[in-house]
Amino acid sequence: MHKTELIRNNQFSPLLFCNVEVLRYLKILGLALITVSLLYLMAANWWMLPDPVQLAIPMLILLCSATASIYFDQQEWVRQSLDTVSGLMLGLSLAMIGQIYQTGADSYLLFLLWSALLLPWLYRSNIGIFVMLCVVSQLTLYLYFKQSFWMGRAEGLYLLGLNLLTALSFAYAMRYYALLRFLFIAFVIVISISSMMQFIHHSKLIYLASSIVLPTGAAFYFYRKHQALEAILLIAGLAASVSLWVFELVENQLTNSATGLFVLAVLIFGWFALISFALNRIFPQTKFSVIPLALGAWISGIILAVLLLTYWEAFSILMGIIFIGIAWKLLGQQASVFMHQFAYCLWICGQAAVLIHTELLTDSMVVVWLLQLLMLGLTTIKRMHWSILTLQLLMTHALAIVVLVLENSFKHDDMVISIILSLNYVIFIGIFLTARYWQSSHYQKSIFLWMIAMLTGSAVVQAVTGLEHWHSIGQISFDQVLLFYILPSLLLFSFIWQNWQQFSEKWLWLIPVLGLLLILLGYFEIFIIMLLMAWAVVYQQRLMQALSILLLIFWLWMLYYNLGLSFLVKSLTIFISGLMVWCMVYGLKQVRIRPGQEETA
């Protein structure tokens, strides 16, 4: 099953679940469910267990995982997962010792000992253990200063320790775990910005040094290694940090007026433009030097948006239209990366001004939603970047919900909530039926992110409002029948109908059977998420893969948490679910894709 075979007809194919990588993920899911069922059973009865048993459980898991990691030494991902479990059990064992024997030790001593015990696990490559060590060691440092009351008396010493510890971790990561470099870059920038904010408020040089020294040193390291992107990202973050200082210095000189905001926008834009010019001289062979310029364009654009929304009132609609017109013109040209970013910024600022002031003038969200539909259409026609279209789709969807909510009481009327969630299903059905037309288009990623956003929104709404299938049995209304049964069944039917020829392989019927079971449970969204996850794994879409996995975990938690069953039966249900997933994996392994199926797939 290759990408070119699937894309001929429909990428939402049941054959996605026959991919080796997808089956591996399903096996992990089954194992995770079985493990969680056992942990859930222990957690439900934890306080009833004798102290020696409570102490023995994490140590026994530690021993088993450490032994198994030696046995699975040739399977890298299995070994690293088992070592990570061992690291977690070390911390849990220490916590249980402190709880049972009432040692009275400060928390930082627990984390310090945990950090020391994690060190031997680094004798072989293990990114999970290293990340855990970085987090635990930072917590150790923070808790030491917090609990010994040194934080207030010698905060500068804490900042020195924070920067030194981060620098040591950074140096080790660059040598053995270079994959983590962007995570460390983000952390260094966070330290820089937070330290600069403290410097602005307290005017202590130690904060200024904490803000500048570490990112400058890291940027110089990447410059010596000829890693332009990493160096430029650090310099851009440092520039953003210094911009806070610049803003503070000029704030008192600028009047609180439209002119003051405009001058501030020009100053910030000029500052980032100067940095990009210098970077272009230092790294003449890379296009990444425009990153600070693009960042400056967006920051200046946000200030201009505030200017449009605050001071110019109704005139802002005209200015917003002018901004949109300029952006349309710029996007129609073969412009540089910066000009494209600047055009996108003008587009968003102008759009915000038009929509917000239209609502203020007309007091009608329907008119605003119609204007947003027009902006969505223009974005599609102009073939803008997928992130801009994703933003437009989310805004259109959010405004549609606002229009529905304003017609009723969102807090007290379950009918409105059901309609909003049903709207998601109607959109899903439309997306599935038209999949062959948009899956190979420029906006494939935008539509997938839109689907993930809708699934996330559905989870949040159901969690917050308490609208849930199990609480409605025996008194379920028509709108809930529509939401939990009719629309999911139509979506499942469309999935089967579009891939009918592939279901000549009997084992593939396990997939719609799973979907039917989830409909009965009232959580068909899990089936959609699993389908999106399978697609992301097969097509190596890392962002969608990570988001769908996180979303799957959240929905599974909602499913089992809301089951109206006793702890014992609930644990048994989770255990059976894991076994069923493993059985499905076994059945899908029996599928043999014939030439006729490949052509339709």
| Interatomic CA distance for residues 272 and 293, integer angstroms | 5
The first and second tokens of residue 269, run together, are 């834009």
| Interatomic CA distance for residues 594 and 598, integer angstroms | 6
Contact 65, 121 (CB under 8 A): no
The band of 492, judged by pLDDT with boundaries at 50, 70 and 90, is confident
Question: Across residues 161-189, what is the average pLDDT?
Answer: 92
End-to-end Cα separation, the chain, in angstroms: 8
Contact 82, 66 (CB under 8 A): yes
Average per-residue pLDDT in the chain? 79
Q: What is the predicted pLDDT for the residue at 185?
A: 92
Question: Across residues 73-97, what is the average pLDDT?
Answer: 81
| Interatomic CA distance for residues 275 and 292, integer angstroms | 7
Say whether 561 sits in a helix, a strand or coil.
helix
Q: What is the predicted pLDDT for the residue at 338?
A: 66
Q: What is the predicted pLDDT for the residue at 267?
A: 80
Burial class (CB in 10 A: 0-12, 13-18, 19+), 122: middle
Tens digits of residue pLDDT in 554-567 = 877 776 666 555 66
Amino acid making up residue 186: A
Helix and strand totals (H; E) in the chain: 27, 0
The first and second tokens of residue 566, run together, are 């006793």
The first and second tokens of residue 431, run together, are 């997306």
Using the Cα atoms of residue 547, residue 549, residue 552 and residue 558 in order, give the sign of their dihedral.
negative
Contacts for 524-529: CB closer than 8 Å, 24+ residues apart:
524/484, 524/488, 524/491, 524/492, 525/455, 525/458, 525/459, 525/555, 526/552, 526/555, 526/556, 526/559, 527/492, 528/428, 528/451, 528/455, 528/491, 529/455, 529/555
Percent of the chain at pLDDT > 70 equals 85
Question: Across residues 113-119, what is the average pLDDT?
Answer: 91
Q: What is the predicted pLDDT for the residue at 133?
A: 93
Say whether 49 sits in a helix, a strand or coil.
coil
Residue 81 has pLDDT above 50, yes or no: yes
* CA-only gyration radius of the chain, Å: 28
Contact 25, 537 (CB under 8 A): yes
| Interatomic CA distance for residues 389 and 375, integer angstroms | 10
Tens digits of residue pLDDT in 238-297 = 888 888 887 777 766 665 666 777 777 778 778 777 877 777 777 777 777 777 777 777
The first and second tokens of residue 361, run together, are 């003038």
Ranges 22-36, 117-131, 253-267, 446-460: which has the least confidence: 253-267
Residue 68 has pLDDT above 70, yes or no: yes
The band of 595, judged by pLDDT with boundaries at 50, 70 and 90, is very low
| Interatomic CA distance for residues 275 and 290, integer angstroms | 9
CB atoms within 10 A of CB 137: 21
The band of 9, judged by pLDDT with boundaries at 50, 70 and 90, is very low
Contact 370, 362 (CB under 8 A): no
Question: Across residues 561-575, what is the average pLDDT?
Answer: 69
Contacts for 52-56: CB closer than 8 Å, 24+ residues apart:
54/96, 54/100, 55/93, 55/96, 55/97, 55/100
CB atoms within 10 A of CB 256: 9
Please tell me which residue, 92 or 4, carries the higher pLDDT value.
92
Question: Across residues 318-323, what is the average pLDDT?
Answer: 83
Extents of the domains making up the chain: 1-44+412-601, 46-124, 148-245
Tens digits of residue pLDDT in 121-144 = 888 888 889 999 999 999 999 988
